Amino acid sequence: MGNSRKENVPNLSPVRLVIVIAISIFAAEAFAMLLISIINPQSHIAETLIDSTMLVILVSPALYFFLFRPLITNMKEREKMEKEVSRLADIPKDNPDPIIEINVETGLIEFCNDTARVFLGNEAGPKPENGPCECKTDWDHPLLEGLKPMIEELRRDGERKVLDVMEAEVGKPNTETYRVYARKLRYVPKENLVRLYTADITKEQELIKTTRRLLHEVKEIRRKLEDEHKEAEQVGKSLLAPDPQDGGITVCVGVEPSSKAGGDRAGFITEKGKDGKPKEWLVVLDASGHGKGAAKFQEVALGGLMTTLELGRPMVEALKTANLTLERLATGRFLVGSIWRVMREKESENGWVYVEEFNIAQHPVIAINPEEDEPTEWQWSRVEGSGSSMPMGLFGDGFNNIKPEIRKVKRDTRIVTYTDGITEAKNADKEPFGVGRLKDIVMQTRELSPELARIEIVRAAKCWAGDLPESAADDDIGSVVMEDDITIAIVDIAE
């Protein structure tokens, strides 16, 4: 059972203050005059000093014990009461959910609202008129069951915390009735209190069951997507060669898969030349969409290209055939990309080599001339009727007019081919990484090997997408989930 406690607040009425001061001064002055008559000082100055000193010495203790001490006590009690009022002000008296405050030092319930009293019953004790409740805590009660170890741990830590406690099922013995509670503990070390909020969520059980069922379905969908992701990666390893046979170039080709991998391909494909000399093409393609569907669409296109090239047909004819094949599939998908090669059959001039390029509605290729301070772009014109501006697979006759660009490139030039997974990577403000930033990082890494340069470029894009500093740890960068594959091919033309 609980008991009520009345606060012992001193009575500091004006009449009492006047009486205390008057009696203190009277007694002190009487004692001082008696002392002066005994000492019998020879001068008025000495008599005045003795009188004043004795008055101060004798009145001060009386004023402290009978006036200031009660006043200080009164102020402390008032401050305590104000804190108590402030603490309880945010607890609605008619809150439908139980609210209980427990002193972690004494283990007593210092406050419980009317709803909590209904649940606690007689254990809450009589409702106090003044002051805290201070009734004994029954840790076996359904509302408090299992909380004692948590509260003891909070007390040991001594830090202000808020804990969400898992719902607890409370049932009556030998019945099928039950209640389910969601509980939150708030620990305030300064006041040595734990406030327990308990919400009755019995009626929400059907919602909980539905939520759990949905979570299970989401996990199953995620598992299927991960399986499709792995299958798409396996499909993507089948056709393009990762390394060239051309000894005159240094290459690094890499596809950094996103959470929806499957749309990008990069590698080398060989054309049988009419003169018997092979022509080695670097192919960087990006299919619309993601996953296994995009991966298979890529393989149809690449398989068509390879079959036509192996029959001895030139790349321009292979592209037309592949485009027509994809268009007849009527999947609604399409390919964009860049396909280019160093023309070894054409003699170089004064340190320059020739490059043959097909740009299929793709970003311009970035080239870094060793004698220039700014990168250049292999531009292509979007002319109506020109196949070079058409995505592959949308129009059966779209590549009828396709033709390559022939470019002169300085020896030791670095050529960077990429897909939009890097330039369209967005940060938290939805700002894309952009071609400008890509050019900057390409220039900054121009002295590195193609492999190290590719690593730094991918790192910069992931830092951008993950809002990470340039000095971020590799683990943090590795945890960044990209929305699209990052595909980069870096080629140094050495001879």
For residue 475, pLDDT over 50 is answered with: yes
Model pLDDT, residue 387: 47
The mean-pLDDT minimum among 1-5, 68-72, 291-295, 490-494 falls in 1-5
Model pLDDT, residue 449: 92
Q: How far apart are alpha carbons 141 and 120 in whole angstroms?
A: 8
Yes or no: say if 309 and 319 are a contact pair by the CB < 8 Å rule. no
pLDDT, average across residues 271-298:
83
Q: How far is CA 106 from CA 83, 116, 119, in A?
A: 19, 20, 22
For residue 485, pLDDT over 80 is answered with: yes
Model pLDDT, residue 191: 76
pLDDT bracket for residue 57 (50, 70, 90): confident
Instruction: Report yes or no on whether pTM surpasses 0.75.
Output: no
For residue 132, pLDDT over 60 is answered with: no
Q: How far is CA 95 from CA 43, 152, 183, 217, 433, in A?
A: 77, 27, 15, 37, 51
| Pair of tokens at residue 23 | 């009696």
pLDDT bracket for residue 116 (50, 70, 90): confident
What residues contact residue 377 under an 8 Å CB cut-off, 6+ apart? Answer: 364, 365, 366, 367
Question: Which of 284-298, 342-356, 401-415 is predicted most confidently?
Answer: 401-415
Comparing 218 with 4, the larger pLDDT belongs to 218
Model pLDDT, residue 289: 79
Model pLDDT, residue 282: 93
The mean-pLDDT minimum among 172-186, 203-217, 280-294 falls in 172-186
pLDDT bracket for residue 4 (50, 70, 90): very low
Q: How far apart are alpha carbons 409 and 415 in whole angstroms?
A: 10
The mean-pLDDT minimum among 88-97, 159-168, 323-332 falls in 88-97
The mean pLDDT of the chain is 77
| Pair of tokens at residue 88 | 């309880």
Residue type, 289: G
Model pLDDT, residue 262: 59
For residue 430, pLDDT over 70 is answered with: yes
Percent with pLDDT over 90 in the chain: 15
pLDDT, average across residues 300-329:
89
Q: How far apart are alpha carbons 235 and 378 in whole angstroms?
A: 31
Yes or no: say if 466 and 476 are a contact pair by the CB < 8 Å rule. yes
Question: Which of 132-146, 244-258, 328-342 is predicted most confidently?
Answer: 328-342
pLDDT bracket for residue 411 (50, 70, 90): confident
pLDDT, average across residues 380-389:
56
pLDDT, average across residues 178-188:
70
Token pair 């393989």 in the structure block, residue: 299
Q: Cα–chain-centroid distance for residue 204? A: 29
What residues contact residue 246 under an 8 Å CB cut-off, 6+ apart? Answer: 280, 342, 344
pLDDT, average across residues 25-33:
79
For residue 7, pLDDT over 50 is answered with: no
